[in-house]
Amino acid sequence: MPKSPEEWLEQTAPEKRAGTFKLILGYAPGVGKTYNMLSEAIRRHRRGEDVVIGVIETHGRKVTAELAQQLEAVARKKIEYKGTIFEEMDVDA
Protein backbone atom coordinates (compact mmCIF):
# COMPACT_ATOMS: atom_id res chain seq x y z
CA MET A 1 0.00 0.00 0.00
CA PRO A 2 1.50 3.43 -0.91
CA LYS A 3 2.53 5.69 1.93
CA SER A 4 1.01 9.09 2.45
CA PRO A 5 3.24 12.08 1.62
CA GLU A 6 3.53 12.85 5.33
CA GLU A 7 4.73 9.32 6.15
CA TRP A 8 7.19 9.41 3.27
CA LEU A 9 8.62 12.75 4.46
CA GLU A 10 8.99 11.49 8.02
CA GLN A 11 11.06 8.53 6.84
CA THR A 12 13.17 10.31 4.24
CA ALA A 13 13.75 13.75 5.77
CA PRO A 14 16.99 14.17 7.72
CA GLU A 15 16.65 14.35 11.45
CA LYS A 16 15.57 17.84 12.40
CA ARG A 17 17.05 19.72 15.31
CA ALA A 18 15.14 22.76 16.42
CA GLY A 19 17.19 25.91 16.71
CA THR A 20 16.61 28.81 19.02
CA PHE A 21 16.44 32.53 18.40
CA LYS A 22 17.53 34.93 21.08
CA LEU A 23 16.92 38.65 20.75
CA ILE A 24 18.83 41.02 23.01
CA LEU A 25 17.33 44.48 23.14
CA GLY A 26 18.76 47.63 24.60
CA TYR A 27 17.58 51.16 23.96
CA ALA A 28 20.78 53.03 24.70
CA PRO A 29 24.49 52.51 24.06
CA GLY A 30 26.39 50.93 26.93
CA VAL A 31 23.52 48.95 28.45
CA GLY A 32 25.25 45.60 27.86
CA LYS A 33 23.95 44.13 24.59
CA THR A 34 27.35 43.12 23.21
CA TYR A 35 28.61 42.10 26.67
CA ASN A 36 25.57 39.86 27.12
CA MET A 37 25.97 38.24 23.69
CA LEU A 38 29.69 37.62 24.22
CA SER A 39 29.12 36.17 27.70
CA GLU A 40 26.54 33.76 26.28
CA ALA A 41 28.86 32.83 23.39
CA ILE A 42 31.73 32.10 25.78
CA ARG A 43 29.46 29.95 27.96
CA ARG A 44 28.32 27.95 24.93
CA HIS A 45 31.90 27.60 23.66
CA ARG A 46 32.98 26.18 27.02
CA ARG A 47 30.14 23.64 26.74
CA GLY A 48 31.66 22.48 23.47
CA GLU A 49 29.47 24.32 20.97
CA ASP A 50 31.04 25.83 17.86
CA VAL A 51 30.98 29.62 18.26
CA VAL A 52 32.61 32.15 15.92
CA ILE A 53 32.35 35.94 15.88
CA GLY A 54 31.31 37.23 12.47
CA VAL A 55 31.73 40.95 13.12
CA ILE A 56 32.10 42.86 16.37
CA GLU A 57 32.42 46.52 17.21
CA THR A 58 33.85 47.08 20.69
CA HIS A 59 33.39 50.87 20.64
CA GLY A 60 36.70 51.10 22.47
CA ARG A 61 35.42 49.25 25.54
CA LYS A 62 38.27 47.28 27.10
CA VAL A 63 36.06 44.65 28.77
CA THR A 64 34.23 43.97 25.50
CA ALA A 65 37.54 43.54 23.63
CA GLU A 66 38.83 41.16 26.33
CA LEU A 67 35.70 39.01 26.06
CA ALA A 68 35.92 38.96 22.26
CA GLN A 69 39.52 37.72 22.42
CA GLN A 70 38.30 34.52 24.07
CA LEU A 71 36.49 33.48 20.88
CA GLU A 72 37.51 32.74 17.32
CA ALA A 73 36.62 35.51 14.86
CA VAL A 74 36.23 35.57 11.09
CA ALA A 75 38.95 37.68 9.48
CA ARG A 76 38.05 41.19 8.37
CA LYS A 77 38.98 42.89 5.15
CA LYS A 78 39.18 46.55 4.25
CA ILE A 79 37.08 47.84 1.38
CA GLU A 80 37.45 51.28 -0.16
CA TYR A 81 34.25 52.82 -1.46
CA LYS A 82 34.06 56.38 -2.78
CA GLY A 83 37.15 57.41 -0.85
CA THR A 84 36.05 55.91 2.47
CA ILE A 85 37.55 52.73 3.93
CA PHE A 86 35.18 50.23 5.51
CA GLU A 87 35.86 46.94 7.28
CA GLU A 88 33.67 43.93 6.71
CA MET A 89 33.72 40.19 7.28
CA ASP A 90 36.07 38.39 4.87
CA VAL A 91 33.81 35.54 3.79
CA ASP A 92 36.57 34.12 1.57
CA ALA A 93 38.95 33.70 4.54
pLDDT in tens, 12-30: 776 766 677 888 889 898 8
The Cα-based distances of 90 to 42, 74, 76, 93 in angstroms read 22, 7, 5, 6
Taking the whole predicted model, whether its pTM rises above 0.85 is answered as no
**Nearest alpha carbon to residue 58 among 87, 90, 20:** 87
Q: What is the rounded CA–CA span in Å between residue 83 and residue 71?
A: 32
Q: What is the rounded CA–CA span in Å between residue 18 and residue 36?
A: 23
pLDDT in tens, 49-59: 999 999 998 99
